């Protein structure tokens, strides 16, 4: 529990890579060891990661105190989850004390990242109104903090207004973490303004939730969830890799598609065949 695991999601164009690079570099300069991991659900669709990965964060990638790992293209979202979690634990064992897990694309990956981290942060742009329409309300219910990025130059007044708007919204939502009221903050990943303050917020979060026991309890629940999801994965793998099942499935598929067999009957037959191979 000496590490802090931070999930970072962002609306498209919010400048997530630049933010992670600036934030990560700031932490490395302060003596922390930072690991950046990505959960990219699209890699399970097209078999490869959409990230140019390290090329996006060249400065941080060169930092000896940082480690950047692209998303594993593991076929399923569950697989991506498993690999990312394993890597996170390895990084912690190797002495990395700040783990940043970013989601790529908006949607299903947020809930998965939330289930792996202590603090979940959403990066947004100025002009909250239009943004919120494009963002599922569900995402706001997962976050511990909202960061309005690109608060620099002429954009500062609008960023401040956007921050107030988000604070109003967060005020009405149930906190994602017991005993912690989520707030909105402004920063500029380009100038670095607001970055030290964000780290103060995270330190405060860690202290507060550790004192109340919420931090430890969440970690325990995450470990339990991880146990069951790993078992699910294992069972699924055993089933689909079974030679008898491999031969039987195309036959059942045809029968179901041609209407000669109901789905229920096909499932029953497949499982019976699977159980017989275990005897």
Which residue, among 72, 29, 58, has the nearest Cα to 192 in the 3D structure?
29
Owner of token pair 């942060």:
121
- Give the pLDDT confidence score for residue 47 in this predicted structure: 46
Handedness of CA 147, 202, 9, 22 (dihedral sign): positive
- Give the pLDDT confidence score for residue 79 in this predicted structure: 65
* Cα–Cα dist 85/117, whole Å: 10
DSSP state of 33: -
Structural Rg of the chain based on CA atoms: 22
Burial class, 138, CB count within 10 angstroms (exposed 0-12 / middle 13-18 / buried 19+): exposed
* Cα–Cα dist 63/53, whole Å: 15
* Cα–Cα dist 97/89, whole Å: 11
Q: For residue 10, list its beta bridge partners.
A: 123
Cα separation of the two ends of the chain: 43
Which residue, among 197, 208, 274, 210, has the nearest Cα to 239 in the 3D structure?
274
- Give the pLDDT confidence score for residue 48 in this predicted structure: 45
- Give the pLDDT confidence score for residue 50 in this predicted structure: 46
- Give the pLDDT confidence score for residue 201 in this predicted structure: 98
* Cα–Cα dist 23/45, whole Å: 30
- Give the pLDDT confidence score for residue 80 in this predicted structure: 67
Handedness of CA 219, 224, 226, 227 (dihedral sign): positive
Q: Could you list the pLDDT tens digit for every one of the 279 residues in the chain?
A: 689 999 998 877 788 889 999 999 999 999 999 999 987 665 555 444 445 555 578 889 899 999 998 765 555 666 667 788 889 999 999 999 999 998 876 566 788 889 999 999 999 988 755 555 556 667 888 999 999 999 999 999 999 999 998 998 888 889 999 999 999 999 999 999 999 999 999 999 999 999 999 999 999 999 999 999 889 989 999 999 999 999 999 999 999 999 999 999 999 999 999 999 998
Q: For residue 185, list its beta bridge partners.
A: 147
- Give the pLDDT confidence score for residue 103 in this predicted structure: 83
Q: Which domains does the chain have, with CATH numbers?
A: 4-223 (3.40.50.300), 242-277 (no CATH)
* Cα–Cα dist 136/195, whole Å: 26
């Amino acid at each position: 529990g000496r590490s802090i695991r931070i999930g970072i999601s962002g609306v498209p164009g919010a400048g997530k890579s630049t933010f992670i690079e600036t934030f990560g570099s700031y932490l490395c300069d302060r003596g922390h060891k930072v690991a950046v991991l990505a959960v990219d659900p699209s890699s399970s669709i097209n078999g490869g990661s959409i990230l140019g990965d390290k090329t996006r964060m060249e400065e941080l990638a060169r930092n000896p105190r940082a480690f950047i790992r692209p998303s594993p293209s593991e076929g399923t979202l569950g697989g991506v989850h498993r690999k990312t979690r394993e890597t996170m634990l390895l990084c912690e064992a190797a002495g990395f004390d700040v783990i940043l897990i970013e989601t790529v694309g908006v949607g299903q990956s947020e809930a998965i990242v939330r289930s792996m981290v202590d603090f979940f942060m959403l990066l947004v742009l100025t002009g909250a109104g239009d943004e919120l329409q494009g963002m599922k309300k569900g995402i706001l219910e997962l976050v511990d903090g909202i960061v309005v990025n690109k608060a620099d130059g002429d954009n500062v007044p609008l960023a401040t207004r956007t921050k107030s708007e988000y604070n109003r919204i967060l005020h009405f939502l149930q906190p994602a973490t017991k005993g912690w009221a989520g707030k909105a903050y402004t920063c500029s990943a380009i100038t670095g303004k607001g970055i030290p303050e964000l780290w103060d917020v995270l330190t405060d979060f860690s202290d507060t939730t550790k004192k109340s026991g919420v931090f430890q309890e969440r970690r325990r629940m995450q470990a339990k969830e991880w146990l069951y999801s790993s078992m699910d994965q294992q069972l699924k793998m055993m089933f689909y890799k079974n030679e008898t099942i491999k031969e039987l499935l195309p036959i059942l598929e045809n029968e179901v598609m041609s209407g000669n067999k109901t789905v229920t009957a096909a499932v029953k037959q497949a499982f019976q065949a699977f159980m017989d191979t275990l005897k």
